[in-house]
Amino acid sequence: MPYDWLVLALGSSADPRGVPGVREHAVPFNNLDDALRVRGALEEIEGAAQSGWTSTGPDARPLTVMVVGAGYAGVELAAVVAERLRNNAGGAVRVQVVTPSAGILPGSPPGQREAAERTLGSLGVETLAGTRVLSLERSSEPGTLSTSVVAQLSTSAPEGSDAGATTVTCGADLVLWTAGSAPAT
């Protein structure tokens, strides 16, 4: 078969960038198998919300889905998850987007960023800009879901300077990882 250009698109996979616990405790979002895992985890969260689940630990919080990465995949995933949970969990679930950038869709045209910010805002999605995930570990809090984790986050000035960075610990019941990518092998 003759051709002028040949493209071998082998795809990509999530790149945890050396963050401890990501491979074990976050769900990547790259292919159909990942999408099915996300669906199963969301069904567990919806069931917990419908049964009135509440955090019982010292830092009581609502059910939380954390999307790591604010590129196109992360923003679209956060919007779809927020809309699904609003419809199926009565709005009892918090959705967050975590990005080390100053905002979502870095490098995109301003109009696209603004439209995406409006959409996420209308769905109640929180954006944690200037924030990096340092580690994830399984939550030991009694009564947590099978996907619940404790995340160590570093918050800094949106410019990304480590000067004045603060490390915080927060809980999440599902972490979806869209940050970074590496070529599929």
For the chain, give every domain's residue range.
21-51+60-183
What DSSP assignment string belongs to 138-174? E--STT--TT-EEEEEEE--TT---TT-EEEEEEESE
CB 45 within 8 A of CB 173: yes
The pLDDT tens digits for 63-108 are 999 999 999 999 999 999 999 999 999 878 999 999 999 999 999 9
Say which DSSP state 104 is in. S
CB 178 within 8 A of CB 68: yes
Residue 79, both tokens: 């919007």
Query: Does CATH place domain 21-51+60-183 in 3.50.50.100?
Result: yes
Instruction: Look up the pTM and report it.
Output: 0.86
Lowest mean pLDDT of 29-38, 109-118, 134-143, name the range.
134-143
